[in-house]
DNA sequence: TGCGATTTGTCCGTATGTATT
DNA sequence: TAATACATACGGACAAATCGC
């Protein structure tokens, strides 16, 4: 059930060991299977993954770039620790990026883009109804990636991609909580409605509210997990 | 005269072959020594640089993430081509980032931060008077990195770092042109003055003007070089 | 302070996989 | 289709740096 691959990323990416390792480790970190702060040693990691050190080291580079691993030469390689401050920084920056993204894409939107967006919403709702949290999260991010795609600004898109694994991390955190309220269906309906509308300012305001809505909930979770 | 290292980057970074290769190739690309679109083959490149393939491949990965190299697995590795559109995207996004950066750092600024900023301006002016274009460019970027440092937002800082080599590229392009007007001393004086002031809105407006001032000039250069 | 033990960084030879001719 | 060039990957080896005693 690896549909997320086809949705969130370009399917024409040719596979290498290195990219497989990236996908595997990335998933493990985002899901919390590899706990934050855990030290990793190359040799044992290579053994467990069944790859040699060369592609593994390249994968590590990529994960360091994504901010999922921390690496200090000759010393240590650890799973990135996420603090409360990191989360606040993430939320703040994410709002800024997404608002800017809509500013960039606003005049470029076409009717086929609107169809695309509504389809992404449909995919999200489908995943929600099948009770597959991982898939729902992937599709929620896919929905939010829409404006970045339309903006056609490579620098903006790259910055967004850098945020995605961290968003996934916090989305999973939110979902694994007992409360598990999460964003309501209606919220994304409103998001799409405004994104297809003609009031840029309203869209941008909605983004602030939309993102900040989930902020406090996750913030509580982080404080709790930090105490343990 | 490699002062730029000490200024623009953290000096406590332990050196590896890989990081040396990154620095070397990055410099070559930014200065245009390796022309855009040029195809590179690993083996010959490793030979020329005097390193084995392993650290070279890691360096390549990093340069790909920086957007200086383009790599399609099993096919080709080429020096990134910069189009007119890329430049416009860069300028737009850079304005957004720097404005947001000041918004983030505004309340965090201390008097020692102001001293730091004024020092960066002094360093820039020193380099200007000694007619060392490379050094002046490094210090100009260092000046503009100030707000990102103060903001203490890792995601924002990472996004900025991703832009830096591209800014360097265009700054060098601008400097190598016949006109070579470049930004005047006064402009950065005004920049620093407003950055140390208490009118955030004015600062943000200034950033737009400041950045856009150099836009058209470089845009002309790109059109010219594209025709050749 | 110095000395092993461990891990990382690097190199080399070779084999396999992929794209292009 | 085969041949070629090159990227990718493996395994073994050693040097360099770090850490703990």
Q: For every one of its 228 residues, what pLDDT tens digit does chain A have, with 9 covering 90 and above?
A: 333 333 443 444 568 999 999 999 999 999 999 999 999 999 999 999 999 999 999 999 999 999 999 999 999 999 999 999 999 999 999 999 999 999 999 999 999 999 999 999 999 999 988 888 899 999 999 999 999 999 999 999 999 999 999 999 999 988 887 555 555 667 899 999 999 999 999 999 999 998 998 888 888 888 877 766
pLDDT at position A5 is: 37
DSSP letter string, A156-217: HHHHHHHHHHHHHHHHHHHHHSSS-----HHHHHHHHHHHTSS-HHHHHHHHHHHHHHHHHH
CA-nearest residue of chain A to B99? A96
Output b/e per residue, A70-79; b: 16+ Cβ within 10 A.
Answer: eeeeeeebbb
Among the partner residues A58, A73, A104, nearest to B16 by beta-carbon distance: A73
Band of residue B32 on the pLDDT scale cut at 50, 70, 90: very high
Question: For B47-77, what is each residue's pLDDT tens digit?
Answer: 999 999 999 999 999 999 999 999 999 999 9
Interface of A to B at Cβ within 8 Å reads 14, 16, 19, 54, 57-58, 61-62, 65, 67, 72-74, 86, 89-90, 92-93, 96, 100, 104, 152-156, 158-159, 162-163, 166
Burial class (CB in 10 A: 0-12, 13-18, 19+), B107: exposed
Nucleotide nearest to B76 (CA to C1'): D7
A interface mutation test: which of B81, B93, B99 has the most A CBs within 10 A? Answer: B93
Farthest-apart Cα atoms in chain A, separation: 55
Q: Which of strand C's nucleotides are less than 7 A from any protein C-beta?
A: 7-12, 17-20
A interface mutation test: which of B16, B155, B165 has the most A CBs within 10 A? Answer: B155
Band of residue B1 on the pLDDT scale cut at 50, 70, 90: very low
pTM, full prediction:
0.91
Contact residues for strand D with beta carbon within 7 Å: A 16-18, 50-55, 58, 74-76; B 14, 40-43, 53-54, 57, 71, 73-77
Band of residue B4 on the pLDDT scale cut at 50, 70, 90: very low
pLDDT at position B215 is: 87
Q: Is the CB of B53 under 7 A from strand C?
A: yes
Taking CB atoms and an 8 Å limit, are B159 and A65 in contact across chains? no
What tokens appear for A73 in the block?
């030469």
A interface mutation test: which of B159, B162, B165 has the most A CBs within 10 A? Answer: B159
Nucleotide nearest to B14 (CA to C1'): D17
Band of residue B5 on the pLDDT scale cut at 50, 70, 90: very low
Q: Is the pLDDT of residue B177 over 60?
A: yes
CB < 7 A to strand C: residues 26-85, chain A: 40-43, 53-54, 57, 71, 73-77
What tokens appear for A124 in the block?
């999200």
Q: Are A145 and A154 in contact (CB under 8 A)?
A: no
Output b/e per residue, A18-50; b: 16+ Cβ within 10 A.
Answer: bbebbeebbeebbeeebebeeebeeeebbeebe
Taking CB atoms and an 8 Å limit, are B89 and A153 in contact across chains? yes
Task: Return mean pLDDT, chain B.
Answer: 89
pLDDT at position A10 is: 41
Q: Are B165 and B26 in contact (CB under 8 A)?
A: yes
């Amino acid at each position: 059930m690896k549909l997320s691959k086809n949705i969130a990323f370009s399917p024409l990416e040719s596979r290498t060991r290195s990219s497989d390792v990236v996908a595997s480790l990335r998933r493990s970190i985002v899901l919390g299977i590899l706990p934050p702060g855990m030290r990793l040693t190359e040799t044992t990691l290579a053994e467990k993954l069944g790859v040699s050190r060369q592609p593994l080291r390249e994968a590590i580079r990529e994960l360091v770039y994504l901010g999922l691993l921390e690496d200090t030469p000759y010393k240590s390689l650890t799973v990135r620790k996420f603090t409360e401050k990191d989360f606040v920084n993430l939320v703040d920056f994410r709002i800024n990026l997404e608002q800017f993204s809509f500013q960039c894409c606003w005049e470029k939107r076409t009717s086929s883009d609107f169809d695309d967006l509504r389809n992404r919403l449909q995919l999200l709702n489908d995943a929600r109804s099948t009770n597959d949290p991982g898939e729902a999260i992937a599709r929620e991010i896919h929905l939010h990636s829409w404006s970045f795609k339309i903006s056609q600004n490579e620098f903006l898109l790259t910055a967004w991609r850098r945020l995605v694994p961290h968003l996934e991390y916090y989305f999973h955190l939110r979902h694994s909580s007992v409360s598990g309220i999460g964003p309501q269906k209606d919220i994304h309906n409103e998001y799409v409605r405004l994104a297809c509308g003609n009031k840029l300012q309203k869209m941008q305001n909605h983004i602030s509210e939309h993102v900040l809505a989930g902020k406090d909930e996750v913030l509580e979770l982080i404080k709790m997990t930090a105490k343990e």
